[in-house]
Amino acid sequence: MYSEDDLLPLSGLQHMAFCERRWALIHLESLWAENLFTSEGKVLHQRAHSGDIESRPGILIRRTLRIHSLRLGLSGQTDVVEFYPAGTDEHGVLIEGHKGLWKPYPIEYKRTRDKAGSQAYRIQLCAQAMCLEEMLATEVPEGAVFDRSTRHRQLVAFDAALRREVERLTAHMHALYSARITPRAQYEKKCDSCSLYPVCLPKSMGTASASRYLKRAIAATLSDSGKPSENSDE
């Protein structure tokens, strides 16, 4: 069990699943860069995180629901959680102002589905479900990823293998955070679409820290222009 002070952002799991170096650059070195994909994704999430609560016949929709798990050491918020009436033989939760038990069904909004990121989406959604299970003391067997490009939902079953992957990546994330280690760069085809490519420099960085590399590059530029750098005694 982790304490509340040890909780890491759940949103980091999608970065960790895509690339552990990407996670470290964002969460250890505080580096970020926007591209078309991240900008579109931000707009989509802003719409989902409107804070609205909707009630329709047979369904209750909650947006921007704060969640956490002391077992996993994660905290964050969902895009959308739909609640459906539970059957007589199903687990569920009580919701104030509504009769009976309700089954939570988390939904993650994504700009599009791509081969490199689809697994990351499922992992993040499964982590949300595991947080809901711990908080609500109920079962969350499945959810969905909403694909904006097709405007269809992709069903995600939270099976044992997916849950083990969430636990593995979460433990690795905590280990890197505790050790403050930024993994070395290793170029793959998926790097070309990553918004952090200009600061990660996977074809040339090797084991270097991106933040240290940028500081050295700035210092060299200032030196070449005749201006003193931060480390200069002039």
pLDDT, greater one: 135 or 218: 135
Query: HSE (CB half, 13 Å, CA atoms) of 22?
Result: 23
pLDDT value of position 38? 45
User: Which amino acid is residue 159, in one-letter code?
Assistant: D
Region 101-121 average pLDDT: 78
Helix axes 160-179, 20-27, angle to 10 degrees: 50
- Joined tokens for residue 179: 């050790």
Q: How far is CA 30 from CA 7, 25, 106, 182, in A?
A: 17, 6, 29, 11
To the nearest whole number, what is the mean pLDDT of the chain? 81
Residue 132 — pLDDT band, cuts 50, 70, 90? very high
- Residue written as tokens 């979460």? 170
